[in-house]
Amino acid sequence: QVQVQESGPGLVKPSETLSLTCTVSGGSLYSSDYYWGWIRQPPGKRLEWIGSIQYGGTTYYNPSLKSRVTMSVDTSKSQVSLKLSSVTAADTAVYSCARHYRAFVRYRGNGDGFDIWGQGTVVAVSS
């Protein structure tokens, strides 16, 4: 059974770069049916999709964060990474990794979703 687990520093200083890793176990990154996504939830706010990446490296980013986000994949380690630059207190959130399924592939639908989530990791931005 596929599982995902986030890891990374829990505290980042303002203006620095937040770096997180998502390790995929119990399955392969190699699938054109899925992407691997990052989603965050600031305290008291709604879940926010940050972006998704396919195993070949094709990325899809939230336009509101695109200028600061970089995602990459390391298939040898079965890991997906997230970097968010120039962080501020507004980037304080629980960051989750999730498997992003393609609706059309899964059920001939329209509008993808996320079917396997990690527990999430708390990242605070503070000096």
Partner 1 sequence: QSVLTQPPSVSGAPGQRVTISCTGSGSNIGAGYDVHWYQQLPRTAPKLLIYGNTNRPSGVPDRFSGSKSGTSASLAITGLQAEDEADYYCQSYDTSLSTYVFGLGTKVTVL
Q: How far is the CB of 97 from partner 1 (least distance, A)?
A: 10
Shorter beta-carbon distance to partner 1: residue 8 or 120: 120
Shorter beta-carbon distance to partner 1: residue 21 or 75: 21
Shorter beta-carbon distance to partner 1: residue 16 or 48: 48
Q: How far is the CB of 13 from partner 1 (least distance, A)?
A: 27
Q: How far is the CB of 53 from partner 1 (least distance, A)?
A: 14
Binding positions for partner 1, rule: CB under 8 A:
45-49, 62-64, 96, 98, 101, 103, 106-107, 109-120
Structure tokens at 4: 């995902």
* Partner residues linked to 57 by β-bridges: none
* 120, 95 Cβ separation under 8 angstroms: yes
DSSP 89: G
Residues near 123 by beta carbon (within 8 Å), at least 6 away in sequence: 8, 9, 10, 11, 12, 18, 20, 91, 92, 93, 94, 95
Q: How far is the CB of 43 from partner 1 (least distance, A)?
A: 13
Shorter beta-carbon distance to partner 1: residue 50 or 73: 50
DSSP string, 94-118: EEEEEEEE-HHHHHS-SS-EEEEE-
